[in-house]
A and B are shown apart, each in its own frame.
Chain A
Amino acid sequence: MSDLQHEIKNLIIDALGLEDLTAEDIAADLSLFGEGLGLDSVDALELGLALQKRFGIKIDAEAKDTRTHFANVASLAAFVSAHKAA
């Protein structure tokens, strides 16, 4: 597991108040929304805000790619890396 993935897992736990979980409970390919972790639309907004604060990424909630980026921890890490490199 990459450091970035680990950081994102902890960010999800902290930002969304998932106090019963640890980073080890969230597999990199686990779906975050709906089936899987079971997060909802308010979580999506809250997570977008947390990513914005931590990594300085502006997230467009309307962009069609956003849904793909937010699929799981691996896709989020790839999204964050791409922005860091840019």
Chain B
Amino acid sequence: MRVQDAQQQPDVGFLPALQRRRLSRLARMTFHVAWPLAEAQPVLPLVFASRHGETPRTLAILSDLARGEPLSPTQFSLSVHNAIIGKWSILRGDTSEMSALAAEGDGLEQAMLEAGMLLGEGAPAVLLVIAEETPPAIYAPSIEDVPFPYAVALLLKPGDEWRLQLRTGQGPTSDWPHPLNLLRALCGEQLFLEHYWKSRRWTWSRNKP
């Protein structure tokens, strides 16, 4: 399933024009969801997760290569997986620890593990962003997990309201991007969420207050 994409761009008007012009939509989505969460936190470690990253940029570079044309320095410099968090660090003036993960179907949980370790090390809060861009048409037959572009930002703080557990197990995969299932669970009264990927069974459970 794939939702039609009219290439709408999220608003990042809070960034200076000269700074935002090179940002891809993936970067704009990331900034759009994460910026408000970071406003009250001058210093904030960041875990960014994206399975596919900037595939439109890498395809543009590969296409130039195939045509024997010189490569665009802008495309090249922003195609690496940690380019977005690099931009984030510069624009926010925040040199906290930041990492970019490319995990598979359970990227959200892998990122949560990373964020949990940062909290365990004493960070008062950690920002987690998971984002995916619609893959270019040429990749569409091979990429089934991005029916539409999306970005979710979570501001994580130490606590015991939620618990995430990993066990071995197999089960049905999610019909739509899993981070949105978590969002739905967080917004509703849901106490329990399960997510399977390969042989991994992740269980999210909420402690009743």
- State whether the Cβ of B199 lies closer than 8 Å to any Cβ in chain A: no
Do residues A45 and B18 form an inter-chain contact, with CB atoms below 8 A? Answer: no
Do residues B73 and A45 form an inter-chain contact, with CB atoms below 8 A? Answer: yes
Do residues A49 and B21 form an inter-chain contact, with CB atoms below 8 A? Answer: no
Stretch at the interface among A3-11, A16-24, A74-82: A16-24
Smallest Cβ-Cβ distance to B22: which chain A residue:
A17
The total of chain B residues at the interface (CB under 8 A) is 10
Do residues B21 and A17 form an inter-chain contact, with CB atoms below 8 A? Answer: yes
Do residues B70 and A38 form an inter-chain contact, with CB atoms below 8 A? Answer: no
Residues of chain B within 8 A (CB-CB) of A16 are 21
Do residues B72 and A46 form an inter-chain contact, with CB atoms below 8 A? Answer: yes
- State whether the Cβ of B4 lies closer than 8 Å to any Cβ in chain A: no
- State whether the Cβ of A63 lies closer than 8 Å to any Cβ in chain B: no
Do residues B70 and A49 form an inter-chain contact, with CB atoms below 8 A? Answer: yes
**Contact among A18, A20, A38, A49 with B73 in the assembled complex (CB-CB below 8 Å):** A49
Residues of chain A within 8 A (CB-CB) of B77 are 42
Do residues A20 and B74 form an inter-chain contact, with CB atoms below 8 A? Answer: no
**Contact among B17, B69, B70, B72 with A20 in the assembled complex (CB-CB below 8 Å):** B17
- State whether the Cβ of A52 lies closer than 8 Å to any Cβ in chain B: yes
Min CB–CB distance B54 → chain A (angstroms): 15
Do residues A42 and B73 form an inter-chain contact, with CB atoms below 8 A? Answer: yes
Do residues B17 and A49 form an inter-chain contact, with CB atoms below 8 A? Answer: no
Smallest Cβ-Cβ distance to A18: which chain B residue:
B21
Residues in A45-72 with C-beta less than 8 Å from chain B: 45-46, 49, 52-53
Residues of chain A within 8 A (CB-CB) of B74 are 42, 45-46
Smallest Cβ-Cβ distance to B73: which chain A residue:
A45
A18-B19 Cα distance, complex, nearest whole Å: 10
Can you report 22 A-B residue pairs in the complex whose CB atoms are below 8 A from each other? A16-B21, A17-B21, A17-B22, A18-B21, A19-B21, A20-B17, A38-B18, A42-B22, A42-B73, A42-B74, A42-B77, A45-B73, A45-B74, A46-B72, A46-B73, A46-B74, A49-B70, A49-B72, A49-B73, A52-B70, A53-B69, A53-B70
